[in-house]
Structure 1
């Protein structure tokens, strides 16, 4: 699935009831996600649309890999936000626990993580598992 195809989709891959372009698409184009949860959702959407550059850009420099490499066979099929702490509009740290569902070559898988985020200079970034 590509970002171009998703611009006409009814809802964003992140699960919020908005079109991709008005939801995570705006973050992928450069707007800053205002909360840790919205950054996590936009990162999930980046996996779904194959936006490796956004994943690397929103990864904290202290833990960012040189390359992220996405498997073109992955089909991200759903996101469940289970909870979190902090990460609000006036905070500088937060965690978000989620389950991300995918299929790859006919096999289903679930990625379950409690992720850490920090906000520096007004921008949230993903640090890693909490």
Structure 2
């Protein structure tokens, strides 16, 4: 029972990331337009949008594996921290350097930082830290 909440969390975080990754990989124009970003027809730019979408989808699969396999839960939580935390912190840095983006991207940043924080809490509670 103690693992139910972190496993559910990993599943939800992985599912959300799967949707985002699929949007970037398979519908980059529509996904970006929802945030006020017009990609145009530059194949190089589209390639640069699709590639991280695939990385997010593969990461999401690993996160979702943490739901059903105990040995994957702790690494899945670490991956959730890394992915969501890096996106959230990069958006925060961008706000400081470039100014505020669309409100939907500010909301995404807040959600990413909240998800990363919960992952950190669950990860710290999941067992002793081992450096081997």
Structure number with higher strand proportion: 1
Larger Rg: 2
Report 1 or 2 for greater relative contact order, CA contacts < 8 Å, sequence distance ≥ 6.
2
TM-score by length of 2: 0.28
TM-score with structure 1 setting the length: 0.28
Query: Greater helix share, 1 or 2?
Result: 2
